Every structure is written in structure tokens, then in C-alpha cells.
Structure 1
Amino acid sequence: MKKLIAIVVFVLGFAFQANAQEVKTVSLEQTKGEFTQKSITLDEGTYVFEISNKNVGHDVGFVLAPKGKTDQKHHIKNAYVTSLVKNNKKSTSKKVALKKGEYVYFCPLNPTPQYTLLVK
């Protein structure tokens, strides 16, 4: 019985570890009026966005939306940073599952242009 419990614990631990490794971090940096990364290409998968505020002088945010649907009702809410990004600090989003397609990312607080994120 102890061996069975040990095997179950091992398998569950491995499954959780494998699942945790599937989430990738995309680091983006904002300066005054722009992101330093002008476009991004990713594979389908689950991501967390880490946004850096590089001396913008005020709080910034992050919006991700399907291309052509940038109104607030189409924003991918889990991609919002969990707290506004203070000057010279970082903040992250929740987990975001991205499917194949074109998206745009931008910051309405900075404000920045809309940049392309392609998921292949």
C-alpha cells in the first residue's frame, strides 16, 4: 500500500511539474510612448506577460486583443497586468492561453501604438 501511495504521489508531482513548465513568460519593456519590442511571434500555448516600466515617469499597463477588435469588450482580460506597473518596476499578467492568429498589444496609459503579436 505504501508503494502505491508513493507511486501516486510521484506521478501527481510529475504531472504538476510538467504542467507548470508549459507556461512561458513573455517579457516586454515600455519606454516613453512605446514598447521596445515592435512585434512578437509565439507558438500556441499558455503565457504570462511581464511588463517593465523603464522610466516612463508614470504608471503603465498592458492590453492584448485580437487584431481588429481592440475595443474594451474584446480585450483579453487575463493579459491585463495584475497591478499597474509603477515607474522603473515590473508587473505580470495572469496566465493567457493563446491560439493561432493575430493579436495586437498596446498601453492606453503610456500611450503606445498598437504592435503585432502573431501566434503560429
Structure 2
Amino acid sequence: MNRVIAILVVALGFALNGNAQDTMMKKEAVKTIALEQTPGEFTQKGLTVSEGSYIFEISNNHSGTDVGFVLVPKGKDASNAENHIKTAYVTAVVKEGNVETSNATKLSKGEYVYFCPLNKTPQYTLTVE
């Protein structure tokens, strides 16, 4: 009886360890997209990235104002906050000379536009392949 219990414990241990490894393998790495704002513009005028999860790191390089970050699927009304991808917002307004980040944002294949309404930047294209 003890031998059967020992075999079951070992088998259960292998099963649990295998499931933990599968879960870890399924978790994808979160990458960072660093963007810099200067007066009235982003220095990166367009981006192409692969599908996946990203954190947006926004730096304010003497733009003359606090800055933020808005990401919207291309073709949606960017002036309507309901269309904004909220996880891509920086977690705090970016003050002069500072850097702030967004939460992790999963990007699917397609096109998006990004801009800063505070710094009055144009809309730039982010392509996800």
C-alpha cells in the first residue's frame, strides 16, 4: 500500500511540474516600446512591431508641457476616448525631463495610431505584423 501511495505522489509531482512549465511557456514576454516627445512631436514618426504584449515608455525631452500617450486602432475616431486603448495610457502624466510607462498592452495584427493630445502631436502609425 505504501508503495502505491509513493508511486502516486511521484506521478502527481511530475504532472504538476509539467503543468507549471506549460503555463510558464505560454506566458509571453512583455517588450518595451520607448518613445520620446519633443516640442509638438514624437521623435519616432512611425513603428512596426510584431504581435505581442508591450509596455510603452514615454519620455518628455523638453517638450515645453506635460505629455501623455494615446493609442487607437486605425480607422476609429481618435478624439473619442471610448476608442482609446486604456492600458496604453501612461500611468502618470510625464513631466519635463521624466519618463513614465503604460501598463502591459496586448497588440494584435493591424494598424494603430498614436499621439499626444497634451503636446498636440500629429498622429503616427504603429503597424503590428
What's the offset of the Cα at 1:89?
Answer: 0.4
Runs of 4+ in 1 over 3 A off after TM superposition: 4-18
Matched, 1:94 2:103: yes
2:110 and 2:26 map into 1 onto residues whose CA distance is: 26
Residue matched to 2:71: 64
What SS does structure 2 have at the residue aligned with 1:78?
helix
Offset at residue 7 of structure 1 (A) = 8.9
**1:54 partner amino acid:** N
Number of equivalences:
119
Which string of whole-angstrom CA distances, capped at 9 and with x for unpartnered residues, describes residues 47-92 of structure 1? 0000000011221000000112112110000000000001000000
Map 1:1-120; keep pairs closer than 5 Å.
Answer: 12=20, 15-16=23-24, 19=27, 22-69=29-76, 70=78, 71-120=80-129
TM-score (norm 2): 0.80
2:118 is paired with a residue whose SS is coil
Pairwise CA RMSD: 2.1
| 1:98-117 Cα distance to aligned partner (Å, 9 max, x none) | 11111000000001000000
Structure 2 runs not aligned, ≥5 long? 1-8
Q: What are the ranges of 5 or more consecutive residues in structure 1 without an aligned counterpart?
A: none
Structure-2 change in CA distance of 1:18 and 1:100 (3 Å): closer
Q: Per-residue deviation at 1:94?
A: 0.5
